[in-house]
C-alpha cells in the first residue's frame, strides 16, 4: 500500500509547534511529494519561547531560533512578517495581508495564543508590556534602559500575575537592574500548579531573592507620571504602589480569529474545536497547539502542541494516530528558584493520599500524591529542590516501587531512577519520546552519546528538564550493549580528570610536557590544558604563570583578573567573611577614585573594582598589597569567598562566632585550586542569614557546635546542600571540611561543581558521610595532610607577581608597544560612577574624566 501524498499543505502560524510539524514531515517522509508553506506574522523564523527569558541572560535572538535547516528542504517555504488575513474554504486558499494567495489541499492552523490583559485603566500607557514574544522583550529592555536614564534612578517594576511566566518576568526585571513587585490576585504564587504549602514555600524563596510579593490583590488602574508614561498602580486592597514599568502576565487566550471568520466551529471558551484526529469541522482543516480546543480545553504548553503536530503528520501520511492529553507538568525556569509539579497536585483523585516533607530551614517543600494503597504515583509538588521532578514524572500513573516517604526523606533513601524505566514510559513529554525510543536510538540507530540521541529523537531539546534521566538511560544502554561510556577529557587524554589526577599524583609529574609524554598524546587543547594546570596547582602549588604553566591557563588566570565585556578587568581584593577595617576601605576608595574604577559591593561580601586596564593592574595591586590586602582570586577555579552573618559577636540570635569561623576557613582554603570554583557560607544560627545551604560548603551554628552541609549552589540549577555532619566542635568541623574539599579535588570531573559531584556520588550523601566522617576508606588523615600542605605553602599570587620584574612584564596592552594602552576604550558617567559607553553617548577614554559626563538625567 503506497503512502498517501499530502499535496499542498499551508500552516498558519510560525511558532514552535509549526516548526515541529515541518520537522516531523521531513523526518517521516524524506522522499514524499508534498509541499509545506508556513506563514507567520512575526518578522522572524520560529524561535524557542520556552527559554525566552534567557534573552536577558546572554542568549541572542539568533541563539533562540529553532533549527533553521528544515527550511533548506526544497519542499518547505517560510513566510514571515505577513499574517494570514482570510481563509476561503470553498476555493481552499489563504490570503495574507500583503495580498499573497496560497492554495492548499490541507490547512493546518497553528496560530497559538495571545497575551490577555484585563480591562484596567491605563494599560495603554507607555511602559506597559506583555511578556510573550521576542519583540515584547526587546521593547522591554530598550524601555528600561531609556527610562532609567531619563529618571536617573533604578526603576520600580510591577508584574501583574504570579504564575510561571510572571515570575520569569520579575526575574528579568531584576536582571535589567529594576526592582520587582509581583501582584497576584490569588492567595498564592503559581496557584494553578502549587498547593497552599508549596505556594507559601515559593513565596519565601521569591522574597529572599529580593522580589516583593503581593497576593490576594489585583491591579485596578494605572496612572501616568508627569511625562505621560506609567508611574503608579492602584490595587484592589486600596493601596498604591510605584510602577515605572509594568508587565501583564495574566494568562493567554487562543488566537482563533481566522478560524472564526472562516466559519469553523469554535469552543465555548474559545479555540478551534478539534477531535482526537485534530480535524476541525472542515475535513481539509486541522488545528494544533494553543489555538486548538480539545474537549473544550486549550492548553498553553508546548508538549501537547507537539503531540498534536505528530498526530496530524501521521494522519497526512496515512496513519491513524490519535491525540490523547497527557497529565501536565510544569517547571519554573529562569528565576534561580526550583519549583515544579505534575499530575494531581491537589489530591483530588478519590482515595488519594498525600505524603509531604517540609524543611523551613532549607526552604524546601516536597509532596507526592499516591493512590490509596500508596503504590501508584498520582502527582508531585517540589519547591526549593526539584531534583526529583525529572525522575519521578515519567512514573506518573505507575508503581513507585518504594515507600513514597523514602523519596522525600532528606537522605534520599529511595532507589535512583532512570536506566531501568519501562520502554513505554514517556521521559520527554515535550517531544513525546519514550524510554524505549531513547534506547532504540542507541541499539538500532547507533547513537553513542547523549548529543547524538538528542539529535536523533529530539528528546531534551525543548525545556531540557528530562536531560538528567536521558543521560542515565543512554549511559545504561551503552554499557548494556558492551559499549564503554567514554569519560575521556578530550582527544589528547583518554582518561577522566579524576583518573589523570591520580596518575599525576602517583608519578610525581610536575609539567604538562611530562604528563602528555606519560599519559597523553599530541600537544593538548583548550579543554585539557586548563585542567592539567589546575591539577598541577592543586598538587604542587607554586606560581601558576611560571614556565610552561603560563600557556596552560585560561584568559582570566593569565591576567590574574576577570576579563570584562569591554576588554578591561576587575580587581577584587580578599575580604574574609566581609570583615574589613576602615583603613582598608579608605585605600580601596582612593584607588577607585584615582583610576576611575566602577565600584560595588559584590554578593560575596567583597568589593569589586571594575574597568582596570591590564597595564594598570600591577600599580593598583601594589597599592592594595601595601595596605595589607591580597587577591580574592575572583578569577580562578578555587575558593571564591566565605560569606558570613555577624553571628554571636553582635546578633542577639547568634549562638556561635560565625565571623571568626568564616575568617578561619577563608584563610585556610584561599588559593586552593579545584575542578571548579567553590563557595562557603557560615551562619551563626538556624535563621541562615549567610545562605550557607546554597553554598558548596555550608556551616550553620547550633547550640552544641556546628552542622556542615555540602553540595549546594545557586546559579542556573540551584541545589540545597545536604547535611554531612552535625554538632561538631571547631577542630572537628575544620577536619571534616578539609576532607570534603580534598576528596572533591581528587575525584571530581573537569569543571564539575560540588553539587553534581555530590548528587552523582555512588551511594549519595550516606556513602559520602561514611568516607569522610566515619573514614570507611582509611584516607581521612591523608586528605587532611593534603590541605595542611596547601596552607603551609600558600602565597598570594599578586604579591608574588609584584616582587618579580619578569612577571610584571606580561601586564601590557600591546607587547610591541608596552607604553601604550587600548585607545578604543571609552566610558561615560552613570550615578556618579562610570561604565562602558554605548554608541552615541558622551564618552571619554579617561574614566576619571568620563565620570563627569553623566548621561542619566
* Closest CA relative to residue 12, chosen from 94, 121, 103: 94
> d(Cα 371, Cα 354) in Å, to the nearest integer?
9
Do β-strands 212-215 and 179-184 pair in parallel, antiparallel, or remain unpaired? parallel
Q: List Cβ neighbours of 788 (8 Å cut-off, separation of 6 or more).
A: 738
Q: Which triple of cell numbers denotes residue 765?
A: 550523601
Q: In what order do the strands lie in the sheet with 598-601?
A: 562-563, 569-571, 607-612, 598-601
Distance of CA 285 to the CA centre of its chain: 39
What SS3 state is found at 323?
coil
DSSP state of 419: T
How far is it, in rounded angstroms, from Cα 760 to Cα 332?
A: 23
For 94-145, the DSSP string reads EEETT--EEE-SEEEE---EEE-----BTTTSTTEEE-SSHHHHHHHHHHHH
689 is in an annotated binding site: yes
Beta bridge partner(s), residue 705: 702
DSSP string, 355-401: EEEEETTTTEEEEEEE-TTS-BEEEEEEES--TTHHHHGGGTTSB-S
490 appears as a binding residue in the annotation = no
Strands 245-248 and 156-160: parallel
Dist CA 599 CA 847 (whole Å): 12
DSSP-assigned letter for residue 432? T
* CA R_g for the chain: 29
What is the SS3 string spanning 797-852?
HHHHHHCCHHHHCCCCCCCCCCCCCCCCCCEEEECCEEEECCCCCCCECCHHHHCC
Q: What are the backbone dihedrals phi and psi of residue 257, each rounded to the nearest 5 degrees, phi first?
A: -60, -50
* Burial (CB count within 10 angstroms: exposed 0-12, middle 13-18, buried 19+), residue 196: exposed
- Retrieve residue 70's grid coordinates: 528544515
Q: Is 6 helix (H, G, I), strand (E, B) or coil?
A: coil
- Which residues touch 550 (CB under 8 Å, ≥6 apart)? 544, 558, 810
The Cα–Cα gap between 5 and 32 comes to: 7
What gap in Å lies between CA 635 and CA 638, rounded to an integer? Answer: 8
DSSP label at 649? Answer: G
The DSSP output letter for 266 is B
**Continuous H helices in 572-614:** 582-595
- Closest C-alpha to 718, from 332, 412, 195, 188: 332
Contact status, residue 48 vs residue 15, Cβ threshold 8 Å = no
Angle at 481 between CA 479 and CA 484, to 5 degrees: 40
Is 291 marked as binding a ligand?
Answer: no
* Sign of the dihedral through C-alpha 811, 812, 813, 814: negative
Q: Is the Cβ–Cβ distance between 343 and 377 less than 8 Å?
A: yes
Residue 645 labeled ligand binder: yes
Burial class (CB in 10 A: 0-12, 13-18, 19+), 763: exposed
First CA to last CA across the chain, in angstroms? Answer: 74
Determine which helix (DSSP H) or strand (DSSP E) holds 167, and give its type and residue range.
helix 164-175
Q: In what order do the strands lie in the sheet with 101-103?
A: 84-88, 93-96, 101-103
Alpha-carbon 244 to chain mean position: 27
Strands 245-248 and 128-130: parallel
Question: Is the Cβ–Cβ distance between 392 and 265 less than 8 Å?
Answer: no
> Does residue 612 sit in helix, strand or coil?
strand
Please report, in range form, the residues annotated as the binding site for [4Fe-4S] cluster: 645, 651, 685, 689
Please report, in range form, the residues annotated as the binding site for siroheme: 689
Please report, in range form, the residues annotated as the binding site: 645, 651, 685, 689
Amino acid at each position: 500500500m503506497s503512502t498517501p501524498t499530502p499535496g499542498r499543505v499551508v500552516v498558519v502560524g510560525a511558532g514552535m509547534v509549526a516548526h515541529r510539524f515541518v520537522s516531523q514531515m521531513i523526518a517521516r517522509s524524506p522522499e514524499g511529494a508534498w509541499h509545506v508553506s508556513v506563514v507567520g506574522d512575526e518578522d522572524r523564523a520560529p524561535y524557542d519561547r520556552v527559554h525566552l527569558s534567557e534573552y536577558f541572560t546572554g542568549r541572542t535572538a539568533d541563539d533562540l531560533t529553532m533549527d533553521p535547516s528544515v527550511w533548506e528542504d526544497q519542499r518547505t517555504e517560510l513566510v514571515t512578517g505577513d499574517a494570514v488575513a482570510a481563509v476561503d474554504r470553498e476555493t481552499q486558499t489563504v490570503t495574507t495581508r500583503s495580498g499573497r494567495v496560497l492554495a492548499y489541499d490541507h490547512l493546518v492552523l497553528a496560530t497559538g495564543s495571545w497575551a490577555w490583559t484585563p480591562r484596567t485603566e491605563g494599560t495603554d500607557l507607555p511602559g506597559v508590556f506583555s511578556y510573550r514574544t521576542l519583540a515584547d522583550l526587546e521593547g522591554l529592555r530598550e524601555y528600561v534602559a531609556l527610562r532609567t536614564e531619563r529618571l536617573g534612578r533604578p526603576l520600580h517594576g510591577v508584574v501583574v500575575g504570579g504564575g510561571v511566566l510572571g515570575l520569569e518576568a520579575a526575574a528579568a526585571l531584576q536582571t535589567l537592574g529594576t526592582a520587582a513587585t509581583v501582584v497576584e490576585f490569588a492567595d498564592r504564587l503559581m496557584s494553578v500548579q502549587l498547593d497552599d504549602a508549596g505556594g507559601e514555600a515559593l513565596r519565601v524563596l521569591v522574597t529572599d531573592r529580593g522580589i516583593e510579593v503581593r497576593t490576594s490583590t489585583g491591579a485596578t488602574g494605572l496612572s501616568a507620571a508627569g511625562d505621560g508614561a506609567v508611574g503608579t498602580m492602584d490595587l484592589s486592597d486600596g493601596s498604591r504602589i510605584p510602577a515605572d514599568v509594568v508587565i501583564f502576565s495574566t494568562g493567554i487566550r487562543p488566537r482563533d480569529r481566522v478560524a472564526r471568520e472562516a466559519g469553523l466551529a469554535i469552543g465555548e471558551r474559545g479555540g478551534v474545536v478539534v477531535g482526537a484526529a485534530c480535524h476541525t469541522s472542515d475535513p481539509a482543516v486541522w488545528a494544533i497547539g494553543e489555538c486548538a480546543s480539545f474537549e473544550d480545553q486549550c492548553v498553553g504548553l508546548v508538549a501537547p502542541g507537539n503531540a498534536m503536530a505528530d498526530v496530524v503528520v501521521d494522519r497526512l501520511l496515512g496513519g491513524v494516530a490519535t491525540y490523547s492529553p497527557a497529565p501536565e507538568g510544569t517547571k519554573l525556569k529562569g528565576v534561580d528558584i526550583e519549583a515544579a509539579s505534575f499530575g494531581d497536585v491537589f489530591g483530588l483523585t478519590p482515595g488519594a493520599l498525600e505524603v509531604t516533607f517540609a524543611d523551613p530551614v532549607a526552604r524546601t517543600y516536597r509532596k507526592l500524591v499516591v493512590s490509596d494503597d500508596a503504590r501508584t504515583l498520582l502527582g508531585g509538588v517540589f519547591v526549593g529542590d526539584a531534583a526529583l521532578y525529572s525522575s519521578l514524572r515519567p512514573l506518573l500513573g505507575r508503581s513507585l516501587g518504594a515507600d513514597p516517604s523514602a523519596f522525600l526523606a532528606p537522605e534520599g533513601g529511595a532507589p535512583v531512577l532512570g536506566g531501568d524505566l519501562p520502554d513505554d514510559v514517556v521521559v520527554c513529554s515535550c517531544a513525546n519520546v519514550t524510554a524505549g525510543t531513547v534506547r532504540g536510538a542507541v541499539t538500532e540507530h547507533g547513537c553513542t552519546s547523549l548529543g547524538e540521541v538528542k539529535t536523533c529523537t529530539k528528546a531534551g531539546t525543548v525545556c531540557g528538564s528530562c536531560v538528567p534521566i536521558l543521560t542515565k538511560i543512554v549511559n545504561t544502554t551503552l554499557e548494556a550493549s558492551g559499549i564503554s561510556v567514554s569519560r575521556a577529557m578530550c582527544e589528547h587524554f583518554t582518561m577522566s580528570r579524576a583518573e589523570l589526577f591520580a596518575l599525576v599524583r602517583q608519578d610525581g609529574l610536575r609539567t604538562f610536557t611530562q604528563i602528555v609524554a606519560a599519559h597523553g598524546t599530541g600537544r593538548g587543547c583548550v579543554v585539557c590544558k586548563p585542567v592539567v594546570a589546575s591539577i598541577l596547582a592543586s598538587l604542587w602549588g607554586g606560581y601558576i604563570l611560571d614556565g610552561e604553566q603560563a600557556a596552560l591557563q585560561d584568559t582570566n588566570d593569565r591576567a590574574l583578573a576577570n576579563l570584562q565585556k569591554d576588554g578591561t578587568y576587575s580587581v577584587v581584593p580578599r575580604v574574609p567573611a566581609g570583615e574589613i577595617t576602615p583603613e582598608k576601605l579608605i585605600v580601596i576608595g582612593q584607588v577607585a577614585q584615582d583610576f576611575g574604577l566602577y565600584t560595588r559591593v559584590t554578593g560575596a561580601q567583597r568589593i569589586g573594582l571594575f574597568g582596570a586596564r591590564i597595564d594598570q593592574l600591577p600599580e593598583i595591586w601594589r597599592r592594595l598589597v601595601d595596605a595589607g590586602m591580597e587577591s580574592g582570586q575572583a578569577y580562578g577555579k578555587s575558593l571564591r569567598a566565605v560569606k558570613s552573618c555577624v553571628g554571636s559577636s553582635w546578633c542577639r540570635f547568634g549562638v556561635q562566632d560565625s565571623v571568626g569561623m568564616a575568617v578561619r576557613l577563608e584563610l585556610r582554603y584561599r588559593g586552593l585550586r579545584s575542578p571548579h570554583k567553590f563557595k562557603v557560607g557560615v551562619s551563626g544560627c538556624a535563621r541562615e542569614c549567610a545562605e550557607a545551604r546554597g553554598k558548596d560548603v555550608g556551616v550553620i551554628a547550633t547550640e552544641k557546635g556546628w552542622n556542615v552541609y555540602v553540595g549546594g549552589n545557586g546559579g542556573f540549577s540551584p541545589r540545597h546542600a545536604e547535611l554531612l555532619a552535625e554538632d561538631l566542635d571547631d577542630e572537628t568541623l575544620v577536619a571534616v571540611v578539609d576532607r570534603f574539599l580534598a576528596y572533591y579535588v581528587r575525584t571530581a570531573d573537569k569543571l564539575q561543581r560540588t553539587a553534581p559531584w555530590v548528587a552523582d556520588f555512588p551511594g549519595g550523601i550516606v556513602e559520602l558521610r561514611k568516607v569522610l566522617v566515619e573514614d570507611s576508606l582509611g584516607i581521612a588523615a591523608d586528605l587532611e595532610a593534603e590541605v595542611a600542605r596547601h596552607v603551609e605553602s600558600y602565597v598570594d599570587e599578586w604579591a608574588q607577581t609584584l616582587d618579580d620584574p619578569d612577571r610584571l612584564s606580561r601586564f601590557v596592552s600591546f607587547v610591541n608597544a608596552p607604553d601604550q594602552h587600548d585607545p578604543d576604550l571609552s566610558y561615560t558617567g552613570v550615578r556618579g560612577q562610570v561604565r562602558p559607553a554605548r554608541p552615541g553617548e558622551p564618552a571619554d577614554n579617561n574614566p576619571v574624566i568620563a565620570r563627569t559626563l553623566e548621561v542619566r538625567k
